Amino acid sequence: MQADTYPGLVDGFVLDEADAVSAEAVSALGLTPLVTQTVMRNLNDKQALAEAVLRFSDELSSR
């Protein structure tokens, strides 16, 4: 079966601080990385990640 997945779909890739070492490799794929805390243990974490993702998306829009 074909397995071409989704080339060109994703512009920005959000990865956790624990995976920061991969940011450069993500960038090499043509995706803009954002390293932030992504584990959502409580409502504050959920809101913080949502705000970070929206800011990141805005930044990508303005490029």
Partner 1 sequence: MVPTSPKILALSGGVGGAKLALGLAQVVPSDALTVVVNTGDDFEHLGLKVCPDLDTLMYTLSGLANQTLGWGQQDETWQFLDALKRLGGDTWFGLGDRDLATHVHRTALLAQGDSLSAVTARLMRSLGVLTQVVPMTDDSVATLIHCQNGETLSFQHYFVRDRCEPLIKGISFQGIETARRAPEFEQLIAYGDLSQIIICPSNPFVSVAPILDLAETWKALKAADCPVVLVSPIVAGMALKGPAAKMMTELKMPSTALAVAQFYAGRHLSWISGWVCPR
- Do residues 8 and 29 make contact, with C-beta atoms less than 8 angstroms apart? no
Closest contact distance (angstroms) between CB of 48 and partner 1 is 8
To 10 degrees, the CA torsion angle through 23, 16, 50, 32?
10
- Do residues 52 and 33 make contact, with C-beta atoms less than 8 angstroms apart? no
Radius of gyration of the chain (CA): 13
Closest contact distance (angstroms) between CB of 61 and partner 1 is 6
Please list every residue from 17 through 56 that binds partner 1, using CB under 8 A: 18-19, 22, 25-26, 29-31, 34, 38-40, 43, 45-51, 53-54, 56
In the complex, which residues of this chain contact partner 1 (CB under 8 A)? 1-16, 18-19, 22, 25-26, 29-31, 34, 38-40, 43, 45-51, 53-54, 56-58, 60-61
